[in-house]
Each structure stands twice: as structure tokens, then as C-alpha cells.
């Protein structure tokens, strides 16, 4: 299929071609990546109009169920919602189980929704880069709300926060150790915290947790000058508070647009994106470098057996990389 | 060749892991065999998508297209396989997605094999959980249709 066919298909919101384009973006083949780059580049002017939301939380907090309720409500209001979920790959077999849609049963049927789970593939940084490009494709296809769901174990949060407008952290009440349960770093990234499962007997716990988080947040320096992150409560089951969170997101967008912070944030994100690509490219070149490739197994072995120290081995590898640097590196 | 190596080779050629949708169609109260199958596929090294329970062929086709899997695999409820396969093949064709292949398992009488192969099934799993022989046959299928070319052997539109 030609690049132009992908571009036209995405712009016409052809579900199958949007899906195929995402596959190209995620592919590890250089030829696919070249095509993907060209497609994303062509689509870039059509993107940027959507509300980009990142959602995270520890496993069991109810992220998928929350997105199901939240997404359905947006669809009912006439929005078009794309959900990009990253699922962890097994480091042993390399395989993965992507079951997000089992918990997003109704949303996955909605005509105005598109849900795409992706395996993390062991490279958390890599997935994040691909998620950025996938976001562009979904926006060009006409989705006006993009939700990025992350694994919620602390590593991918920073990267996801660096590509969305609004970063929502879901928490649980009544778990006892709310404040230790999640790293301080994740709280610092939050544009809002929502205490999920605030229903039934849990409402009182949720209220208490809300006060605790509010006082915890007051100790942190907020990342925005005009937006102190609020703490909300919600229930994906009773739908209580779901609409409030959407209003909070819209409010945040409006305030940051007026103050100019949103523009600032997005241009900083473009820079982050560039640096992420540079870092990834460097690592890629290192492994593809013929000098490194040749000596790597031996050096690895000699570190394993204790013959060479890790510091010296690292120096040696980097030296080999510099030594064998050639024009051909630019092609890979 | 070992299964691991075959998968590594596939990844090198296709740019991603073999991706399979394990779907649950028809009326079942629970579906432990389907989950078991999904776990085995993931342990083998496939990327596995799981559908919600009680899917129709049309919903299954949509999910397979959206997640861009190479293969749909489902365990047929008793006596429903002929109907489900026919519907599923039709739904895929309607979306220009015949390149997504169909694999089924479950209690399927030999006498239906001919019909099923004719209706668009590429492989019938004789044992659940799938054994090594069947995993190898699955990888054959991945190689045939997902080999580097995003569209396999099928036409584009």
C-alpha cells in the first residue's frame, strides 16, 4: 500500500487503515518506520486539536472500568474518543495479554470510539515515542478526545505526562497506605487526582482520603503557576463525579489556554519528543554499530565472568562505537 | 527449529510479534478454556488480545481489525461452529480484512472439517490447550500471512 493511501485512509477515518497505520508506527522494521514517518509528517498539520488526557494508577485501581464510563459519557455527548492503552509484555516470553477491552465492553462497541491496546515490548521509552505518533494519527482521523492509559507502575508515567495536556492519577481510598502507595514523583505530575470507587460503604473513606491527598499536594510545588491540582472523588459504577472530572479537564484547558501555558507546554513537549528520538536513535546506532556488534558478546562474557570490570567494559564499548562511526550509520 | 527461534525470526521479518485475538463467541457463562488458551499463546511469545464474553462475529471482526491482529482464534460452542465461521468470514470480507485468518477449536466433529475449511478456516485445533505441534502449525500460518508484508497475500482494497 502506498503512503498516500494510508494518509487518505486516516483522513477519511477508515478504521482498518487507522489500525494499519498504528501497526506501521509500532513496527521495528526500518522500512515500516520510514513510511510511518512520512505518514505522520503529512498528518501533523491536521492534528493538535484534540484534548489529550493521560490516565494512570496502580493496578487494581479500576483504570479500564473508569475509562469505560468516562469514554461512554463523552461519546454520548457527541465526542469521538480514542483510547491508547499500553500493556506490559512478559520479559521472559516476550508475549503479552491485552485484555483492556474485556473491561471496556460497551465503549469498544461504540461507533465513535477506537480502542487500541499495544504491548510495551520491553522498551518503555520506545512505546512512548510510538504513542506520540499514534496520537497524531488518531487526531488526524478526527478523534477529539485522546486517552492514553499507562501500566501504572511508575516508569512510563513521566513519558506519558510529557505528551498529554492533562494527567489524571487515579487512587483508591481505604487501602490504608495511600501516601506510600504511590511515588511522590507521580503525584508531582498529576493535574488532578481522582479517588475512584467512591461508592457504597467506601464514600466516607474516599472523603477522608481526599483530605489527606489535598494536604499532601499542598506540600508540593505545583508544576503550573495557575493550576493547583484538585483532588476529586468518583465512581465508575454509579457514575458519580465522572462529569465533574471532565469539567475539570475543560476548565484546566481553558485556563491554560488563556494564560498561554498550554502553548508553552506543547512546545516544550515537542522538544521532549525531539530529545526522546535522539536518545532512542543513539541507542539504536550503538547496537547496530559493526564494531560494537562484533565485540559485544566477548565483552559481555568477560564482565559476566568477572574478568573485566563494568566501568572499563562500558568505556571500551563506547570507544568502539566512536571508532567505527561511519557514514553508513546514517542509513540505519 | 525451536518455537522461540521461529518467533524471533518472524519478529525480524514482520517487525512485530505474531498477534492473535482470542475471541469468545456464543452464549457461555464462563470461558476458562479460552483464558487458558490465551495464557498459553502469551507464554509462547504471541501478543494476545482477549475479547469480552458473548461476542458476535461482527464485533469480533471489528476488534480484530482495530487491534490489527494476524489471526482470530475461538473455541466454538457446541454445534455453532459452521454458522459462526460463515458469519465471521463474511464480516471480515465486508471490511476488506480477509487477510485476517480464522482458527477454531472446541468439540468439532470430523464430518464438519471439510465445510469449515471451505468456509474460511485455516486451522482446526484438535487439542485445547494447544500442544507443540499445533503451536507450530499456528506459526506456519503467521508466517504465511504476516510475513513482513502487512497485507499478507490478500489484496489491498
Question: pLDDT for B103-133, tens place per residue?
Answer: 998 888 999 999 999 999 999 998 777 788 8
CA B2/CA A8 separation, integer angstroms: 42
A116·B67 Cβ contact <8 A = yes
Q: What is the pLDDT of residue A175?
A: 58
User: Distance, in angstroms, between A282 CA and closest chain B CA?
Assistant: 20
User: Distance, in angstroms, between B57 CA and closest chain A CA?
Assistant: 13
Element (H, E) at B19: strand B19-23
B16·A23 Cβ contact <8 A = yes
CA B35/CA B21 separation, integer angstroms: 11
pLDDT tens digits for A271-303? 988 888 888 888 888 888 888 888 999 999 999
A95·B43 Cβ contact <8 A = yes
Q: What is the pLDDT of residue B152?
A: 41
Q: What is the pLDDT of residue A329?
A: 52
Among A91-95, A199-203, B21-25, B68-72, top mean pLDDT goes to B68-72
Question: Minimal Cα distance from B5: which residue of A?
Answer: A93
pLDDT value at A132 more than 60: yes
Q: What is the pLDDT of residue A173?
A: 80
Q: Judge whether B94 is closer than 8 Å to chain A, CB to CB.
A: no
**For A74-99, what is the mean pLDDT?**
90
What does CATH list as the number for A1-46? 1.20.5.170
CA A197/CA A236 separation, integer angstroms: 7
CA B84/CA B102 separation, integer angstroms: 11
- Identify the burial level of B100 via C-beta atoms within 10 angstroms of its C-beta, where 0-12 means exposed, 13-18 middle and 19 or more buried: buried
User: Distance, in angstroms, between B65 CA and closest chain A CA?
Assistant: 6
pLDDT value at B149 more than 80: no
What does CATH list as the number for B18-120? 3.40.50.280
pLDDT value at A2 more than 90: no
User: Distance, in angstroms, between B115 CA and closest chain A CA?
Assistant: 28
Pick from A46, A45, A38: which is nearest to A2 by CA?
A: A38
pLDDT value at B87 more than 60: yes
Q: Judge whether A109 is closer than 8 Å to chain B, CB to CB.
A: yes
pLDDT tens digits for A135-177? 999 999 999 999 999 876 666 778 888 889 999 999 888 655 5
**B17 to chain A: which residues are within 8 Å by CB?**
94-95, 119, 121
A28·B47 Cβ contact <8 A = no
Pick from B59, B28, B45: which is nearest to B135 by CA?
A: B45
SS3 A73: helix
Number of Cβ within a 10 Å radius of residue A152 = 22
Give the contacts of A326 (CB within 8 A, at least 6 positions apart): none
| A147 strand-pairing partners | A53, A83
**Candidates A20, A101, A105; nearest CB to B150:** A20
B65·A19 Cβ contact <8 A = yes
Give the contacts of B73 (CB within 8 A, at least 6 positions apart): B20, B21, B22, B23, B37, B41, B102, B103, B104, B105, B125
Give the contacts of A115 (CB within 8 A, at least 6 positions apart): A82, A83, A85, A100, A101, A104, A107, A108, B66
pTM listed for this prediction: 0.88
Mean pLDDT of chain A: 87
pLDDT tens digits for A42-65? 999 999 889 999 998 888 888 999
**Candidates A89, A93, A99; nearest CB to B44:** A93
SS3 A51: strand
Residue B118 near residue B153, CB atoms below 8 Å: no
Q: What is the pLDDT of residue B154?
A: 37
CA A52/CA A134 separation, integer angstroms: 12
User: Distance, in angstroms, between B78 CA and closest chain A CA?
Assistant: 23
DSSP codes, A96-132: EEE-GGGG-TTGGG-TTEEEEEEE-TT-HHHHHHHHH
Provide the percentage of residues in chain A whose pLDDT is more than 90. 52
B15·A32 Cβ contact <8 A = yes
Q: Judge whether A91 is closer than 8 Å to chain B, CB to CB.
A: no
Q: Judge whether A117 is closer than 8 Å to chain B, CB to CB.
A: yes
pLDDT value at A29 more than 90: no
Residue A222 near residue A189, CB atoms below 8 Å: no
pLDDT value at B147 more than 80: no
Q: Judge whether A114 is closer than 8 Å to chain B, CB to CB.
A: yes
User: Distance, in angstroms, between A170 CA and closest chain B CA?
Assistant: 24
Pick from A80, A74, A51, A69: which is nearest to A240 by CA?
A: A69
CA A18/CA B66 separation, integer angstroms: 8
Q: What is the pLDDT of residue B157?
A: 31
CA B136/CA B139 separation, integer angstroms: 5
Interface A–B counts its CB contacts (< 8 A) at 92
| Domains of chain B, residue spans | 18-120
Q: C-alpha cell of B7? A: 518467533
Edge to edge, the sheet with strand B71-76 lists A96-98, B47-50, B19-23, B71-76, B101-106, B121-124
ipTM value for the complex: 0.90
Q: What is the pLDDT of residue A126?
A: 55
Q: Which residue has the cell 536518545?
A: A279
- Does residue A269 have a cis peptide bond before it, meaning omega lies within 30 degrees of 0? no
Q: Which residue has the cell 494518509?
A: A7
CA B36/CA B71 separation, integer angstroms: 17
The phi and psi torsions of B149 (rounded to 5 degrees) equal: -85, 120
What does CATH list as the number for A48-259? 3.40.50.300
Amino acid at each position: 500500500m502506498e503512503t498516500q493511501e494510508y494518509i487518505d485512509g486516516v483522513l477519511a477515518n477508515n478504521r482498518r487503515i487507522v489500525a494499519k497505520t498504528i501497526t506501521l508506527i509500532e513496527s521495528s522494521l526500518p522500512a515500516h518506520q520510514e513510511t510511518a514517518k512520512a505518514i505522520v509528517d503529512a498528518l501533523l498539520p491536521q492534528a493538535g486539536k484534540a484534548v489529550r488526557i493521560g490516565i494512570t494508577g496502580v493496578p487494581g485501581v479500576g483504570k479500564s472500568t473508569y475509562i469505560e464510563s468516562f469514554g461512554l459519557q463523552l461519546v454520548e455527548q457527541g465526542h469521538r474518543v480514542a483510547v491508547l492503552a499500553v500493556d506490559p509484555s512478559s520479559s521472559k516470553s516476550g508475549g503479552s495479554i491485552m485484555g483492556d477491552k474485556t473491561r471496556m465492553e460497551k465503549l469498544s462497541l461504540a461507533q465513535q470510539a477506537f480502542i487500541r491496546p499495544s504491548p510495551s515490548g520491553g522498551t518503555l521509552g520506545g512505546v512512548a515515542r510510538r504513542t506520540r505518533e499514534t496520537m497524531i494519527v488518531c487526531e488526524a482521523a478526527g478523534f477529539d478526545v485522546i486517552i492514553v492509559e499507562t501500566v501504572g507502575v511508575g516508569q512510563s508515567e513521566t513519558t506519558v505526562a510529557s505528551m498529554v495536556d492533562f494527567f489524571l492519577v487515579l487512587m483508591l481510598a481505604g487501602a490504608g497506605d495511600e501516601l506510600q502507595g504511590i511515588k511522590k514523583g507521580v503525584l508531582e505530575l498529576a493535574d488532578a487526582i481522582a479517588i475512584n470507587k467512591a461508592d457504597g460503604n467506601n464514600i466516607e473513606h474516599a472523603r477522608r482520603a481526599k483530605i489527606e491527598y489535598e494536604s499532601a499536594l499542598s506540600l508540593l510545588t505545583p508544576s503550573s503557576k495557575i493550576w493547583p491540582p484538585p483532588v476529586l472523588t468518583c465512581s465508575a459504577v454509579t457514575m458519580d463525579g465522572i462529569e465533574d472530572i471532565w469539567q475539570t479537564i475543560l476548565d484546566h484547558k481553558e485556563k491554560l489556554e488563556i494564560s498561554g501555558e498550554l502553548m508553552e507546554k506543547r512546545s516544550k513537549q515537542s522538544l521532549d519528543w525531539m530529545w526522546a528520538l535522539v536518545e532512542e536513535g543513539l541507542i539504536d546506532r550503538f547496537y547496530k554499530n559493526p564494531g560494537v556488534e562484533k565485540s559485544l558478546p566477548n565483552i559481555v562474557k568477560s564482565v559476566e565472568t568477572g574478568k573485566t570490570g563494568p566501568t572499563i567494559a562500558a568505556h571500551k564499548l563506547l570507544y568502539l562505537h566512536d571508532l567505527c562511526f561511519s557514514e553508513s550509520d546514517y542509513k540505519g | 527449529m525451536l518455537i522461540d527461534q521461529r518467533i524471533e525470526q518472524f519478529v525480524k521479518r514482520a517487525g512485530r510479534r505474531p498477534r492473535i485475538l482470542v475471541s469468545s463467541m456464543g452464549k457461555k457463562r464462563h470461558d476458562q478454556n479460552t483464558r487458558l488458551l490465551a495464557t498459553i499463546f502469551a507464554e509462547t511469545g504471541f501478543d494476545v488480545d482477549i475479547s469480552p464474553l458473548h461476542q458476535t462475529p461482527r464485533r469480533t471482526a471489528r476488534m480484530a481489525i482495530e487491534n490489527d491482529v494476524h489471526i482470530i482464534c475461538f473455541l466454538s460452542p457446541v454445534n455453532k461452529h459452521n454458522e459462526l465461521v460463515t458469519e465471521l468470514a463474511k464480516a471480515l470480507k465486508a471490511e476488506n480484512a480477509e487477510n485476517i485468518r480464522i482458527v477454531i477449536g472446541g468439540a468439532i466433529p470430523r464430518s464438519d472439517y471439510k465445510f469449515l475449511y471451505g468456509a474460511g478456516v485455516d486451522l482446526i485445533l484438535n487439542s485445547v490447550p494447544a500442544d507443540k505441534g499445533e503451536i507450530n502449525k499456528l506459526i506456519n500460518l503467521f508466517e504465511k500471512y504476516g510475513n513482513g508484508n502487512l497485507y499478507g497475500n490478500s489484496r489491498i482494497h
